[in-house]
Amino acid sequence: MRSNSLARFRHNTKRGKKLLAFFVLLFGVLFAAEARFAVMRVGVVETQPAHILPQNVVLGIIPMWQERFWPSLWYEREKYQKLVEKFYPVKAELKITGWGKFCLNASPLEPEYKVYWGEKFWYLSRDGKMWLSSLAENSVLNSHKSDERPLLSWASDRATPIDMSDKSKSGGNIFASQVPLTLIDSWYEAVGRLGWTHAVKYIEAGVNEGKPVVRIVFLNAKSGNGAEFMLPNEAELWAKPALAVKKLYGGVGNIPEDVFIDGTFGKKILVKKNNRVGGAVSESKEKQKK
């Protein structure tokens, strides 16, 4: 019985040695092939659309160890995609196309609104991303809706529109946004429904006496800041004050440019001289965005 156990032990030992020798030889062959032919290195990363991102960026952000062993890049592709998305206004998706070959699909984000905040101009996309409108990387963008809409001004007394924790740790250009898109959509839809779009210079989200309000700043005769109409934060409450203004002036185009109208009282409106000279976005600041 003991001799059989000893025989099996010796047999397993020999088998183990053979397997070890095989793997050492295999590793040696792979190491030699890699050193001579770079068979495990990342061969190419193409971009779709072609040339949308610089090759030095697409390849330059790959860590050295992943570049030398392409399966590791594929395994951690989500980190790679997120890194691309932190610096460029795109939705990135890395796909494998062959041995050591990849294709990076980079779909440009579509700015939904142009936002003035913190004395800078930003783009806000439908998927809740914000980035400076002055970025050189915006060259990847196509034509977008924000160019056709009145500017959105986000006052400093409102909640910060950018997730500051994301901004502090990202080290990139593209930030997560905390802006309530559904609410903003309702303001712009109401402006369109009331027939004001052509007459609006910008829409400001602000606060008045501790309550969130929306200020509509109309164009004057010289396409500058004109009359100002303060309304409740909820767009469904705009109908009555808008009707009162229509009865008083006949249309928003007839409102004198130095008039301020407070429509937050419900059934009545307050009309007075506008004391916010230049509005939240002054003429000089407006010129900076062009």
Residues 159 and 206: their CA atoms lie apart, in Å, by 9
> DSSP letters of 58-123?
HHHTS-HHHHHSHHHHHHTHHHHHHHHHHHSSEEEEEEEEETTEEEEEEEEP-EEEEEEETTEEEE
- Who wins on pLDDT, 151 or 43? 151
pLDDT of amino acid 288:
44
pLDDT of amino acid 290:
40
Q: In what order do the strands lie in the sheet with 120-125?
A: 175-176, 129-132, 120-125, 111-117, 151-154, 200-208, 211-219, 225-232, 259-262, 270-273
Instruction: Please give the average per-residue pLDDT across 167-173, as a whole number.
Output: 69
Separation in Å, CA 64 to CA 22, 133, 266: 29, 33, 64
pTM: 0.81
CB 227 within 8 A of CB 215: no
CB 140 within 8 A of CB 173: no
Average pLDDT, the chain: 85
Determine the residue type at 171. G
Q: Does position 8 have pLDDT exceeding 70, yes or no?
A: no
